[in-house]
Each structure stands twice: as structure tokens, then as C-alpha cells.
């Protein structure tokens, strides 16, 4: 009985291998394969998927940045935190900066049409400076996820991130004409009732992916040092949270935990954020260890771009 089962499995694998070779090596389409093997066309697609899941079909994508990535660490991070993908970049004597490598990775996965949403911060701005090397995407909208920081733009880049990315990708910028954080919840509601902002919120809810930085909750957190929220102090922030995405702060388990501030954020809500099908985070640095860990623990990110040093800490945790 055991031998029979092994034989049947071998026959199944051989059949899947045959279909894979016909499709990928011989260049036959699914209709041609279905006619050759007398199976339904939909079955061919199902067999190809099964071959991928069983490891009969494996992909190796060659690019200049592959040598700068640590695939073993990436696989471990994917398994440990349930990520769809991650990119861990070396910190040795590579001629490429983290920002350049992140830009090249994004160029390989970002859509050419539709819309993507962008968060704020100096990391995203720095990555944006390298996107002029990416393929042009004139059919892509670059949508600002929250309002801006006004006179504090230099400390809290928001609108400038959108402008930098849209210039690099040759896409269409959609700026958010409001402050990032309102005085109170009623004020936020007032902004969101504006027709132009309602149109932008509709765009935000239709983006196919979002790219965000990860903020920390220390005394040196940007939201503290910039004075963006008068009266907010490091102790208050760290008592309630370990980090944030687009000004929505969360605790060490990744649950949003600073509701009083979230209700003042003019732009994508925490619920809007979690409803996006692909959430990409770009973050590194030991000072952000707890913030990144919390985001991963809570499933806030599907994809993480980080450095070797940061990845090693996350794997140790």
C-alpha cells in the first residue's frame, strides 16, 4: 500500500513537471496544453499553481541588487512574522545606498497604472530621491494619505514626499490640502466634509498599495521634536504606544492604542489603513526596534524593507 501511494505521488509529480515544462520551457499557452493533454484549460492553471506550491516550479529573479540582499534572513523573517515579502539589504562595503536599493526593489513591484498611497517622513523622502532611476509610470497616481505639516514640512516631510515620488516615477501627485492633525475631532470632521477632501478620501480608499515609514514613540520621535501636537510629550506617547504609521499609534502587540490622537488625524483612518490590500513599510535602525516589532506582531505590514542589522534584531526577538 505504501509503495502504491509513493508511485501515485511520483506519477502526479511527473505529470505536473510535464505541464510546467510545456508552459515555461516550450512556451505553450494554457489552451495549447489543454488540447494536447485533453484536460480543461482551467485545470491547466490549477496544475501550474499546484506545481508552484509543491516546489516543482521555482523562480529565481536575477537583478543587480540581488547580491546586496540577504535571502536567508528574508525567508526567516517571512516565516516568523507572516510577511508576503521582505527585502533585507547588506550593510557592508556595497556601493549602493539603502535608499537606492529600496527604490530598485519598489520599481520591481509597484503598479504602472492606478494609484498608490504614501505616508510621510524623512526615510520616504530619501527613497524618493532615488526613484528617478525607476521606470516611468505616467498612468500612476501618487496619493498623500494624510494632511501636511505646513510650516513644519522640513521636520515632518509630507507634501514634499509626494512631490519627490511623483517626479521620480513621472506619476500624478494628489496632495492633501489640510493639516495632518486637527485641533480636535470636531475640527477633523469639518475638514473631511469639504468636497475636495471627500474626493481625495475616495482616491485613498481605492489605492492598490501604500508605502509608509514607521515612527517610534521615544522622546526623540518626530511628532514630539517637531511640536506638531502641542502638549504631547515623550512620556505620554511612550505610555500609550511603541510606534506609529501615518500618525496612528499602536502598542507592542500592534493594536492601535492612542484613540484620542487617531480621531484627530485628517486623512486615512486606522481602519482605512488596515483595509488596503498591500501595505509596505520602509524602516530600519535600532532606535525603531520596538516600533517595527510591534508593526510586525500586529500584522500592520505585508512587506518590510530594512537593513541587515535591524533584521538580525527582529529575528532575535
pLDDT in tens, 211-268: 999 999 998 899 999 999 999 999 999 999 999 999 999 999 999 999 999 999 999 9
Same domain for 44 and 151, yes or no, is no
* Residue indicated by cell numbers 540577504: 70
Average pLDDT over residues 88-110: 88
Average pLDDT over residues 106-114: 92
Using left for φ > 0, alpha for ψ between -120 and 50, and beta otherwise, residue 237 falls in: alpha
Same domain for 73 and 195, yes or no, is yes
CA distance 150 to 270: 22
pLDDT at 91: 79
pLDDT at 4: 47
Contacts of 27 (CB under 8 A, 6+ apart): none
Angle at 67 between CA 66 and CA 69, to 5 degrees: 65
**Residue 125 near residue 164, CB atoms below 8 Å:** yes
Grid cell digits, residue 241: 504606544
Q: Which run of H or of E encompasses 107?
A: helix 98-109
Q: Cα dihedral angle (244, 250, 254, 257), rounded to 10 degrees? A: -160
* Residue where one domain finishes, among candidates 28, 53, 78: 53
Same domain for 89 and 217, yes or no, is yes
Does the pLDDT value for residue 313 go beyond 70? yes
Q: Would you say residue 58 lies in a domain?
A: no
Does the pLDDT value for residue 1 go beyond 70? no
Count of structural domains, the chain: 2
Q: What is the Cα 168 distance to its own chain's centre?
A: 18
Same domain for 80 and 34, yes or no, is no
Grid cell digits, residue 114: 492606478
Burial track 188-211 (b if 16+ CB lie within 10 A, e otherwise): beebbeeeebeebbeebeebebbb
Q: What is the Cα 293 distance to its own chain's centre?
A: 15
Burial track 237-253 (b if 16+ CB lie within 10 A, e otherwise): bbebbbbbbbbbbbbee
Same domain for 119 and 29, yes or no, is no
Same domain for 36 and 165, yes or no, is no
Q: Would you say residue 10 lies in a domain?
A: yes
Same domain for 145 and 249, yes or no, is yes
Q: Which domain holds residue 223?
A: 66-316
CA distance 225 to 237: 12
Q: Would you say residue 61 lies in a domain?
A: no
**Residue 158 near residue 147, CB atoms below 8 Å:** yes
Same domain for 126 and 74, yes or no, is yes
Q: Would you say residue 202 lies in a domain?
A: yes
CA distance 283 to 213: 6
pLDDT at 114: 95
pLDDT at 28: 86
In this structure, the number of other CB atoms found within 10 A of the CB of residue 75 comes to: 12
Q: What is the Cα 146 distance to its own chain's centre?
A: 17
pLDDT digits (tens, 9 = 90+) for 116-160: 999 999 999 999 999 999 999 999 999 999 999 988 998 899 999
Same domain for 38 and 78, yes or no, is no
Strands (E), the chain: 85-89, 113-118, 139-144, 172-174, 209-213, 215-216, 243-245, 248-250, 279-282, 303-307
Same domain for 15 and 48, yes or no, is yes
CATH number at residue 150: 3.40.50.1360
Does the pLDDT value for residue 103 go beyond 90? yes
pLDDT at 10: 54
CA distance 295 to 309: 18
Does the pLDDT value for residue 94 go beyond 70? no
* Residue where one domain finishes, among candidates 12, 28, 53: 53
Q: Which of 137, 293, 146, 303 is nearest to 211 (CA)?
A: 303
Q: Would you say residue 59 lies in a domain?
A: no
Q: Which of 61, 248, 290 is nearest to 146 (CA)?
A: 248
Please, which pLDDT band fits residue 3 given cuts at 50, 70 and 90? very low
Q: Would you say residue 219 lies in a domain?
A: yes
Same domain for 114 and 258, yes or no, is yes
Q: Which of 83, 116, 108 is nearest to 276 (CA)?
A: 116
CATH number at residue 34: 1.10.10.10
Is the model more confident about 274 or about 37?
A: 274
Same domain for 205 and 239, yes or no, is yes
Amino acid at each position: 500500500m505504501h509503495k502504491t501511494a509513493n508511485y501515485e505521488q511520483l506519477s502526479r509529480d511527473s505529470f505536473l513537471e510535464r505541464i510546467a515544462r510545456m508552459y515555461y520551457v516550450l512556451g505553450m499557452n494554457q489552451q495549447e496544453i489543454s488540447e494536447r493533454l485533453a484536460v480543461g484549460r482551467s485545470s491547466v492553471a490549477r496544475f501550474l499553481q499546484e506545481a508552484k506550491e509543491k516546489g516543482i516550479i521555482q523562480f529565481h529573479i536575477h537583478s543587480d541588487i540581488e547580491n546586496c540582499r540577504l535571502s536567508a534572513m528574508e525567508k526567516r523573517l517571512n516565516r516568523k512574522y507572516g510577511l508576503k515579502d521582505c527585502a533585507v539589504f547588506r550593510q557592508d562595503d556595497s556601493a549602493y545606498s539603502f535608499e537606492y536599493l529600496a527604490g530598485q526593489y519598489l520599481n520591481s513591484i509597484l503598479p504602472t497604472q492606478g494609484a498608490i498611497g504614501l505616508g510621510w517622513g524623512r526615510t520616504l523622502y530619501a527613497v524618493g530621491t532615488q526613484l528617478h532611476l525607476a521606470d516611468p509610470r505616467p498612468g500612476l497616481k501618487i496619493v498623500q494619505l494624510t494632511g501636511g505639516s505646513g510650516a513644519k514640512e522640513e521636520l515632518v516631510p509630507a507634501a514634499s514626499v509626494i512631490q519627490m515620488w511623483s517626479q521620480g516615477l513621472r506619476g500624478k501627485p494628489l496632495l492633501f490640502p489640510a493639516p495632518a492633525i486637527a485641533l480636535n475631532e470636531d475640527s477633523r470632521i469639518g475638514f473631511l466634509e469639504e468636497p475636495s477632501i471627500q474626493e481625495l478620501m475616495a482616491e485613498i480608499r481605492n489605492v492598490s498599495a501604500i508605502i509608509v515609514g514607521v515612527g517610534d514613540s521615544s522622546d526623540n520621535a518626530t511628532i514630539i521634536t517637531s511640536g506638531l501636537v502641542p502638549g504631547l510629550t515623550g512620556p505620554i506617547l511612550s505610555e500609550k504606544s511603541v510606534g506609529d504609521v501615518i500618525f496612528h499609534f499602536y502598542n507592542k502587540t500592534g493594536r492601535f492604542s492612542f484613540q484620542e490622537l487617531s480621531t484627530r488625524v485628517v486623512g486615512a483612518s486606522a481602519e482605512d489603513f488596515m483595509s488596503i490590500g498591500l501595505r509596505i513599510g520602509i524602516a530600519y535602525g535600532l532606535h525603531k526596534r520596538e516600533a517595527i516589532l510591534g508593526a510586525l506582531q500586529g500584522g500592520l505590514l505585508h512587506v518590510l524593507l530594512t537593513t541587515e542589522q535591524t533584521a538580525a534584531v527582529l529575528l532575535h526577538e
